[in-house]
Structure 1
Amino acid sequence: MTSRREAILRAAAAAIAERGVRGLRVGDVAQVAGVSPGLLYYYFKDRDGLLAAALTFINDRSRRYRKAAGDSGAPREQLIGQLLAELEETPEMVENSMAWNELRASAVYEQPLREPLTRTSRQWTHEIADAIRVAQAVGDVSSAVDALQVGLIITALTEGLAARWLGGELAAEVARAHLRGAVETLLPTSG
């Protein structure tokens, strides 16, 4: 990714988290990124292209955080660490969660967001399902668990708890405790 393109995507993610999709102005994103609006249109064609690319950027950034958080321990604990990373109170994770939730909510009204949201959600679900299968292969999770079905449930639950945390309904530590408890229940050990 070129530095200008990345600067635009960082500015777009921040703008979405701060002002929402409806408040996103291409000119404002270009100004924050330090580029001309023409360059922004060169990279992304239009506002919908920018939103789709921002969603992919947010998803990729979240994937890096999850990977770093799940680098140690047994596969089951790595998976739990990856999921709990989604509810961390670091500025970038808060921004990611706010932007992700905003993009998901906006897809109800903005049809062009639906395909990229479906694609990135599917990627995340499959990543979690793959992590479940790894845990199953070493006996950390029961082989009776349907990895894809539980992956979908866990990612949806993570998003819902993140929305409640960001909305002030739950403290981050409470949301993490609920997520851990749910994952423990959904992913019984083999023994």
Structure 2
Amino acid sequence: MSDRRTEILRAATRVITRRGVRGLRVAELAAEAGVSTSLIYYHFADRAGILRETLGFISERADRYTAQWSPDAEDDPRAELAQVLLLELQDTAEVRENSTAWGELRASAVFDADLRTDLAKATHTWVHEIAELLGRANPAGTAPAHAASAERLTALLEGLSVRWLSGSLPLDHARRLLAEALDAELEGLRPEPCRTAAAVID
């Protein structure tokens, strides 16, 4: 990806973080990126293309910073999984921006079918990656069980992130809740009320 294209996507992420998806205007994006509007349209066919590519940029950036686990975790699948998840909850400008923009895109997807499709694909990829890590950390489980666990953990992570970013939950408490949930998933702990609720749904 060219440096100019990357800078435009970085700028789009910043604008979405500040103003939301509805507030993303090509003129403001061009000013934020320090380029002309014609250059924006040269790289991206339309506003939907900007959103699609920004979503991909956010996902790739998250992949990079969640891959920075400590050397101690390299031979320990459980520790690697914990770090991949917990690195989504760290007080850095990059993570704050990424998580906020992801939340804005998800909220807008409720009203935008195209964005909903793109977000569903990105979410599926993320869940699949976490399910694979769960399989390595707990090989005794089945693939469907790993997938269900990954769905729960990623959904919890998104919720905890929103609460932390909005000031409703301290970061250390959010991280502790996520770590406890991961331990419960890996150990196969299912509180009785959850079984009852699942039975009711079925």
**Same-fold status (TM-score > 0.5):** yes
Q: Distance in 2 between matches of 1:131 and 1:170?
A: 27
Q: Distance in 2 between matches of 1:5 and 1:144?
A: 41
Identical residues among aligned pairs (%):
44
Of 77, 82, 96, 2:84 maps to: 82
Residue 132 in 1 paired to residue 134 in 2? yes
Structure-2 residue corresponding to 1:96: 98
Q: Distance in 2 between matches of 1:109 and 1:167?
A: 22
Structure-1 residue corresponding to 2:54: 54
Q: TM-score, length-normalised on structure 2?
A: 0.87
Question: Deviation at 1:70?
Answer: 6.1
Preserved CA contact (<8 Å) 1:75 1:134 = yes
Preserved CA contact (<8 Å) 1:66 1:85 = yes
Aligned residues: 185
Query: Deviations 1:89-145 (Å, cap 9, x if unpaired)?
Result: 1000000000001100110112221111011101110110111112234xxxx4357
Question: Deviation at 1:72?
Answer: 3.5
Residue 163 in 1 paired to residue 162 in 2? yes
Residue 153 in 1 paired to residue 155 in 2? no
Structure-2 residue corresponding to 1:175: 174
Q: Distance in 1 between matches of 2:159 and 2:172?
A: 15
Q: Distance in 1 between matches of 2:78 and 2:54?
A: 30
Amino acid at match of 1:67: A
Of 103, 114, 117, 1:115 maps to: 117
Question: Deviation at 1:175?
Answer: 0.6
Alignment of 1:1-40 (within 5 A): 1-40=1-40
Preserved CA contact (<8 Å) 2:69 2:84 = yes
Preserved CA contact (<8 Å) 2:26 2:47 = yes
In structure 2, runs of 5+ residues without a counterpart are 189-202
**SS of 1:21 mapped into structure 2:** coil
Runs of 4+ in structure 1 deviating by more than 3 angstroms, as ranges, are: none
In structure 1, runs of 5+ residues without a counterpart are none
Return 6-15 or 165-174, whichever deviates more.
165-174
**SS of 2:111 mapped into structure 1:** coil
- 1:28 and 1:71, CA in 2 relative to 1: closer, same or farther beyond 3 A? farther
Preserved CA contact (<8 Å) 1:71 1:78 = no
RMSD: 1.5
